[in-house]
Amino acid sequence: MGGGVYPWRLKESGDFIDFNTTNNAIFSADLKSDGNAFGYYGLLGLEVPVSRRVNLFVEGRWTHVNDDLNKDFEGFGRLDLSGSEVAAGVSWTL
């Protein structure tokens, strides 16, 4: 288990609908939001020796990170950066 600071940046460019107008006007924009969020993670791994110099490994990581959107996305709620990942591979010693 561990934790850290997770820098993030969100950019969206294109045509958007303004739901606050009576006719749902469409407008073009380049929107940005960024920040640094504190989060934590859990990591679990397994390494299996195949020979004296070769090992197979697999590891899984689960991360929990949330932050509030800001700047152009102010008031749009929270950004969920959480997720899980799996890595596998071969390691060897020369």
- The mean pLDDT of the chain is 96
The whole-number pLDDT of residue 34 equals 97
What does the domain layout of the chain look like in residue ranges? Answer: 2-92
Q: For the chain, what percent of residues have pLDDT higher than 90? A: 96
Q: By three-state DSSP, how is residue 65 classified?
A: strand
pTM: 0.73
pLDDT, tens digit (0-9, with 9 covering 90-100), for 45-76: 999 999 999 999 999 999 999 999 999 999 99
Measured between alpha carbons, how far is residue 64 from residues 6, 19, 23, 42 in Å?
10, 31, 39, 9
